Structure 1
């Protein structure tokens, strides 16, 4: 089995690894787009530089400002734009923190497109939606995609690109899988060859459940479990058994994901996390 670098780093770290989120400004063709592509890329590079200079372990680019989202496939201009954004991320990493981890999520549920971008731009992983089971999101029904996604990865010979998947994903309804516990879903994600799972709260900025995290950790062993929303300096210790934290809102001015990054918040958070031990 391929040993993916990001998986090894997550499992062998003595503390949760920290991944900062770059919420890429609204892209061309989306309702909120106001910036030129050059301005968007300048902002992506600036935020990536701030993150890496302040000691995060990795950075993820995501087109979160592209609301309202649409079901896959993503439009060609979105894939092109996210490829350019990913290239800026990689250049920043190489300039400031070689060896740091990089990832991508393309909304909504554009997992094939994210895999293609990750492979061609040299990213380490993707964050996938709807990997196993199905759910209803605000953009509609999202089907499980494990089989098609991993066959696509194999066809690209992109086996080094890890797939981390949300389970009981935020901003979604899960009535159809109400009889499947989050622990069972994590087990099925592992069985279907995901590289790790992400536990979240109900929405962006909402804290996950420490009990749900514990259930997942009891259900899967030697398998990365990340916390994907609501992590901050006050509750990080509650989730210290997780392998990674994905942090967006808490690194922004006022703790609001829509605002600018605040370097001092990143530095303070990293100082706190560096004192934690799994």
Structure 2
């Protein structure tokens, strides 16, 4: 998967069986997810990522077999109808499970939390996982699956590593063989600090992606400093992640992308 100003659309999979907000059967969950993925493909996006964001409150560092199985079923349903590169994240920090699903469903990448250093998230302390995760990728023969890694992740406290700035964190992730870095704002939908993004551009040789806060209005400001843009909330009605995709918002955004690519 090449990252050349790629727009990656988020499919927020409906709450899965066994989670507090579950209201749909797995067949209904697949149907909704597939329709959203097809909408993104038809709009001309470059890639799609799925995530179990409705599964609040999240477990820490691992999920039950019912979640892994359900995400695999959803992933495979999307893979059968969409030809774009696909990625997956399983919250919170269930990176090995995400990698297993990606391998089984022929996905091209995962988004991993806690790759280097540790941080305190909503769910509690998330430890680093690079060594274990890359060895697991080797064991299951999934070396063709890229691992894009959050650094100084949103919804988290980084007081434990306050003496390690984002540049040093990025270089550590690169040294530990990350395939690409993801930078975010303070929370979902919040913009990345532009000065941090500009600083990273010349510090690492691997791709840098923006993982939150991108809109049609600010895309141009960030365009020259990232290889990819993960967009979720902005594509939804009223810009709220729980809502259905707004085709009007999607159209305006992609028209802006076309202008910038010229």
Q: CA deviation at 1:256?
A: 0.4
1:238 matched to 2:221? The reply is yes
> Which of 153, 157, 166 is residue 137 of structure 2 equivalent to?
153
> Which of 79, 84, 94 is residue 110 of structure 1 equivalent to?
94
Please list, as runs of the form range in 1=range in 2, the aligned pairs for 1:55-204 lying within 5 A after superposition.
55-93=44-82, 98=83, 100-204=84-188
Q: Give CA-to-partner distance per residue, 1:174-225, whole Å, 9 cap, x none.
A: 000101110111111000000000010000000111111111112112x110
Question: In the alignment, is the contact (CA less than 8 A) between 1:111 and 1:149 conserved in 2?
Answer: yes
CA separation in 2, counterparts of 1:85 and 1:204? 23
- Could you tell me which runs of 5 or more consecutive residues in structure 2 were left unpaired when the two chains were aligned: none
Question: In the alignment, is the contact (CA less than 8 A) between 1:55 and 1:267 conserved in 2?
Answer: no
Q: TM-score, normalised by structure 1?
A: 0.92
Q: CA deviation at 1:275?
A: 1.8
RMSD: 1.0
- Could you tell me which runs of 5 or more consecutive residues in structure 1 were left unpaired when the two chains were aligned: 1-5
CA separation in 1, counterparts of 2:104 and 2:23? 27
CA separation in 1, counterparts of 2:261 and 2:165? 28
Q: CA deviation at 1:48?
A: 0.7
CA separation in 1, counterparts of 2:104 and 2:24? 25
CA separation in 1, counterparts of 2:65 and 2:157? 28
Moved more, 260-269 or 56-65: 260-269
Q: CA deviation at 1:277?
A: 4.5
CA separation in 1, counterparts of 2:241 and 2:235? 8
Q: TM-score, normalised by structure 2?
A: 0.98
Closer, same or farther in 2 for the Cα pair 1:209/1:277, shift >3 Å? Answer: farther
Q: Give CA-to-partner distance per residue, 1:37-94, whole Å, 9 cap, x none.
A: 111111011101111011100000000000001112210000001001111221221x
CA separation in 2, counterparts of 1:232 and 1:105? 21
Q: Which residue of 2 aligns with 1:32?
A: 21
CA separation in 2, counterparts of 1:274 and 1:86? 28
CA separation in 1, counterparts of 2:68 and 2:176? 26
